[in-house]
């Protein structure tokens, strides 16, 4: 029985990838992981457990909702929702949450968490910055946390422009990601220091993940990210750079 369930899961993921694909042969394939792979429930569970060691999901959610000035009548899209860190907590405060992720396993895990919490105002969709089609009315806000670095810079811009079309005029974007603001002249020192700091907070299991991130994923510099956000049609209200490696942007869609 377990083998059959694994076979069904494999073919379902394969089918979803085909459906999410583009007819254009030059389209970037965002279904293909550039770093850590989250292609099983075990991986999703491990990710969720690991991140809860150094993140307070409920606090993060409350802070983001306050920044976006959202109330119980508002709608939000969580692009790259993962295991539901923001989406599940936000659903307790908002009218509707659209939770989008490229990973079928992550979505399945998030759905289970939402069901346990008895939340019925979250719609889950498999897709990403380049493939998700939002068929409902434009949302009041879009939230993206630790996801955009999976795309090269050119496709970051395309993805951000697509998000803008899913937002109401003057709608808000909250973007939090790995964004470099250190002196590139000493990048090796910064990378080593960051890895050691992460290991000190979470343990050795973080070391491999961070090494993969630096080696294979597409985090960029603050001045590049700000240019991409503005080129995508957003006005940056605040840009908060943290610890040389992270940045939080609060943005408004231009008319």
Q: What is the pLDDT of residue 207?
A: 84
State the CATH number of the domain containing residue 197: 3.40.50.150
In a domain, 193, yes or no: yes
Q: pTM for the complete prediction?
A: 0.88
* Crossing angle of the two packed helices 205-216 and 187-202, in degrees rounded to 10: 150
Q: What is the pLDDT of residue 3?
A: 42
Give which of 10, 204, 173, 206 is closest to 80, Cα–Cα. Answer: 173
DSSP annotation of 71? -
In a domain, 158, yes or no: yes
Beta-strand runs (E) in 138-199: 139-145, 167-180
Q: What is the pLDDT of residue 22?
A: 54
Q: What is the pLDDT of residue 63?
A: 97
- The Cα-based distances of 253 to 169, 173, 230 in angstroms read 6, 7, 9
In a domain, 60, yes or no: yes
What confidence tens digit (pLDDT) does each residue in 173-216 have? 999 999 999 999 999 999 999 999 888 877 777 788 889 999 99
Domains contained in the chain, number: 1
3-state SS assignment for residue 190: helix
Sort 131 into a burial class: Cβ within 10 Å, 0-12 / 13-18 / 19+: buried
Q: What is the pLDDT of residue 220?
A: 97
Instruction: List the domain range (segments joined by +) for residue 75.
Output: 40-253
Q: Which residue, chain included where needed, has tokens 């999976």? A: 150
In a domain, 210, yes or no: yes
In a domain, 31, yes or no: no
Phi and psi torsions of 13, nearest 5°: -65, -40
Render each residue's pLDDT in the chain as its tens digit; 255 residues.
344 444 444 444 444 444 444 567 899 999 888 877 777 778 878 877 877 777 899 999 999 999 999 999 999 999 999 999 999 999 999 999 999 999 999 999 999 999 999 999 999 999 999 999 999 999 999 999 999 999 999 999 999 999 999 999 999 999 999 999 999 999 999 999 999 988 887 777 778 888 999 999 999 999 999 999 999 999 999 999 999 999 999 999 997
In a domain, 189, yes or no: yes
Tokens representing 140 are: 């009041």
Q: What is the pLDDT of residue 23?
A: 62
In a domain, 155, yes or no: yes
Q: What is the pLDDT of residue 252?
A: 98
Tokens representing 161 are: 């422009």
Q: What is the pLDDT of residue 7?
A: 46
Tokens representing 139 are: 């949302």
In a domain, 30, yes or no: no
Q: What is the pLDDT of residue 48?
A: 75
**Spatial separation of the C-alpha atoms in residues 228 and 180, rounded to whole Å:** 14
């Amino acid at each position: 029985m377990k083998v059959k369930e694994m076979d069904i899961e494999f073919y379902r993921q394969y089918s979803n990838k085909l459906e999410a694909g583009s007819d254009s042969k030059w389209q970037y394939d965002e279904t293909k992981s550039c770093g850590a792979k989250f292609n099983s429930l075990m991986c999703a569970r491990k990710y969720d457990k690991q991140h809860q060691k150094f993140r307070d999901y409920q606090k993060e959610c409350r802070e983001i909702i306050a920044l976006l000035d959202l109330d119980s009548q508002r709608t939000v899209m969580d692009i790259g929702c993962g295991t539901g860190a923001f989406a599940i907590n936000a659903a307790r405060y908002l009218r509707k949450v659209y939770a989008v992720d490229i990973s079928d396993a992550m979505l399945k895990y998030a759905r289970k968490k939402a069901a346990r919490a008895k939340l019925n105002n979250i719609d889950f969709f498999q897709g990403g910055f380049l493939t998700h089609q939002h068929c409902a009315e434009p949302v009041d806000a879009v939230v993206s946390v630790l996801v955009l670095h999976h795309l090269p810079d050119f496709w970051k811009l395309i993805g951000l422009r697509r998000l803008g079309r899913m937002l109401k005029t003057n709608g808000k974007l909250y973007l939090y990601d790995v964004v470099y603001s250190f002196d590139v002249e000493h990048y090796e020192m910064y990378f080593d220091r960051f890895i050691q700091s992460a290991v000190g907070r979470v343990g050795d299991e973080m070391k491999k993940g961070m090494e993969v991130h630096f080696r294979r994923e597409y985090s960029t510099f603050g001045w590049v990210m700000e240019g991409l956000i503005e080129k995508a049609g957003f006005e940056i209200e605040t840009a908060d750079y943290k610890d040389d490696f992270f940045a939080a942007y609060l943005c408004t869609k231009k008319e």
